[in-house]
């Protein structure tokens, strides 16, 4: 077996959902867009359903197909991107709840699926998705008369607790929605950590479920180990990999491991990441190529069979920082070639 082994701990996902749920006095949904951030939306949603989750969010209607198959007819599946032309059949057949983002989407929804469940997303300053406050002001009465399931907005800077954008968006959200008789939602993972005034009736964590920052108390969910394909001795002065980008300054032992940028191990990690043999760090040397990495194992007491890229010694977010990105991106780029071992509920 020469593909990397990606171990996914569903019990950790459940523990993270419960921990985030325990921080609030309201309901907790689960955001499972992008195949549950690469972790596997069907497995994740079934495990979270057993743990008590009843509301799930995806980014686009198509993502709800495997989800509805896994969850059956009961749980609510909501769609952040709302009701686009072309989504109507899926929304009806899978009984999805689109979060309407604009006047066009509202018209589309009310005309094609009158009486079908929906929610509304209002923009409170991020300027990404959602009705403008003026649109909401003009249409709120009409919309509320149609019985929305949820009114939501999204925070732009929730991963920075002291950012003035957080209280600003909270204030705008309250001004626009105080007094309405509909469940409200503002917080994703970062918003949950900001405190109770951000929680409203429903929270929408994603990354925290999967062990990523800003939820620093999260239980890690994945481990990624890469098998050693070949080991060689390299003399002082010899070079390794594409572009001759690494040169041995001492007689060295170099392991070639299976895994590369086609597996989501970005080229930005070239010469930066470490892989671990137990607690011993081994530098990734030279360039990351499509299928392979070269690792300096000179300081190991024995030849390893595999090396760990993501695990207790180098967390998801530590690796992301070395790559100049965030845990979200590392997770969602995890490749299709890995031998996935999903265990837990």
Ligand X SMILES: *Cc1c(COP(=O)(O)O)cnc(C)c1O
Enzyme catalytic residues: 33, 242
Judged by beta carbon, residue 53 or residue 288, the one nearer ligand X is 53
Binding segment (CB under 6 A) for ligand X, from list 170-178, 184-192, 220-228, 229-237: 184-192
> x/- binding map, residues 297-316, to ligand X, per CB under 6 A?
--------------------
Q: Please count the helices (runs of H) and the strands (runs of E) in the chain.
A: 11, 19
Q: How many residues bind ligand X (CB under 6 A)?
A: 12
Binding segment (CB under 6 A) for ligand X, from list 170-178, 198-206, 227-235, 258-266: 198-206
Among 120, 186, 188, 282, binds ligand X (CB under 6 A): 188
CA atoms of 204 and 226, how far apart (whole Å):
33
C-beta of 161: minimal distance to ligand X in Å? 14
Secondary element (H or E) of residue 64 = helix 64-71
- Residues from 79 through 98 that contact ligand X (CB under 6 A): 80
Collapse the DSSP code of 256 into the 3-class scheme (helix H, G, I; strand E, B; otherwise coil) and give the result: strand
Judged by beta carbon, residue 49 or residue 80, the one nearer ligand X is 80
C-beta of 53: minimal distance to ligand X in Å? 14
Judged by beta carbon, residue 206 or residue 260, the one nearer ligand X is 206
77 near ligand X, rule: CB under 6 A = no
Work out whether strand 239-240 and strand 246-247 pair parallel, antiparallel, or are unpaired: antiparallel
C-beta of 320: minimal distance to ligand X in Å? 13
CA atoms of 255 and 232, how far apart (whole Å):
7
Judged by beta carbon, residue 184 or residue 277, the one nearer ligand X is 184
Q: Is 290 annotated as a binding residue?
A: yes
Q: Which residue is nearest to ligand X (CB)?
A: 206
CA atoms of 14 and 225, how far apart (whole Å):
23
Secondary element (H or E) of residue 175 = helix 165-177
Among 207, 213, 228, 310, binds ligand X (CB under 6 A): 207
Is the C-alpha dihedral spanning 264, 268, 271, 275 positive or negative?
negative
The beta-strand segments (E) located in the chain are 5-9, 27-28, 30-31, 55-58, 76-79, 96-100, 119-121, 151-152, 184-185, 202-203, 222-234, 239-240, 246-247, 252-258, 274-277, 280-285, 292-296, 306-310, 339-343
Q: Which of 30, 60, 64, 65 is nearest to 47 (CA)?
A: 30
- Residues from 241 through 300 that contact ligand X (CB under 6 A): none
Work out whether strand 184-185 and strand 239-240 pair parallel, antiparallel, or are unpaired: unpaired
C-beta of 148: minimal distance to ligand X in Å? 16
Among 6, 15, 31, 323, binds ligand X (CB under 6 A): 31
Q: CB of 168 within 8 A of CB of 137?
A: no
C-beta of 76: minimal distance to ligand X in Å? 15
Judged by beta carbon, residue 91 or residue 188, the one nearer ligand X is 188
Q: Is 23 annotated as a binding residue?
A: no
C-beta of 192: minimal distance to ligand X in Å? 8
Q: Please report, to the nearest 10 degrees, the dihedral formed by the alpha carbons of residues 143, 84, 198, 20 taken in order.
A: 130
189 near ligand X, rule: CB under 6 A = yes
CA atoms of 280 and 287, how far apart (whole Å):
21
4 near ligand X, rule: CB under 6 A = no
Question: What residues line the site for ligand X (CB under 6 A)?
Answer: 31, 33, 80, 154, 188-190, 204-208
Output the known binding site for substrate.
Answer: 128, 290
Output the known binding site.
Answer: 128, 290
């Amino acid at each position: 077996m020469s593909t990397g082994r990606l171990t996914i701990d569903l019990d950790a996902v459940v523990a993270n959902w419960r921990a985030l749920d325990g921080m609030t006095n309201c309901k907790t949904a689960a955001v499972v867009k992008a195949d549950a951030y690469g972790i596997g939306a069907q497995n994740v949603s079934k495990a979270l359903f057993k743990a008590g989750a009843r509301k799930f969010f995806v980014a686009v209607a198509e993502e709800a197909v495997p989800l509805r198959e896994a969850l059956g007819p009961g749980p609510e599946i909501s769609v952040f991107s709302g009701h686009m032309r072309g989504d109507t059949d899926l929304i009806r057949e899978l009984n999805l709840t689109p979060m309407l983002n604009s006047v066009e989407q509202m018209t589309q929804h009310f005309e094609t699926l009158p009486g079908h469940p929906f929610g509304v997303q209002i923009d409170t300053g991020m300027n990404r998705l959602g009705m403008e406050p003026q649109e909401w002001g003009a249409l709120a009465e009409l919309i509320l008369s149609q019985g929305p399931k949820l009114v939501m907005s999204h925070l732009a800077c929730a991963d920075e607790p002291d950012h003035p954008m957080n209280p600003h968006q909270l204030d705008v959200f309250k001004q626009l929605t105080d007094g309405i008789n509909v469940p409200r939602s503002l917080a994703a993972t970062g918003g949950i950590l900001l405190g109770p005034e951000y929680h409203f009736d429903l929270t929408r964590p994603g990354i925290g479920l999967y062990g990523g920052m800003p939820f620093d108390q999260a239980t890690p969910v994945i481990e990624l180990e890469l098998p050693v394909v070949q080991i060689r001795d390299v003399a002082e002065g010899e070079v390794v990999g594409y572009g001759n980008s690494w040169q041995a300054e001492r007689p060295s032992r170099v392991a070639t491991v299976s895994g590369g940028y086609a597996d989501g191990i970005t080229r930005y990690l070239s010469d930066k990441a470490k892989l671990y043999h137990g607690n011993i760090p081994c530098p990734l040397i030279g360039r990351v190529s499509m299928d392979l990495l070269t690792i300096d194992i000179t300081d190991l007491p024995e030849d390893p069979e595999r090396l760990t890229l993501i695990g207790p010694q180098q967390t998801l977010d530590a690796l992301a920082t070395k790559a100049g990105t965030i845990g979200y991106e590392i997770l969602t780029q995890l490749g299709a070639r890995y031998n996935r071992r999903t265990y837990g509920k």
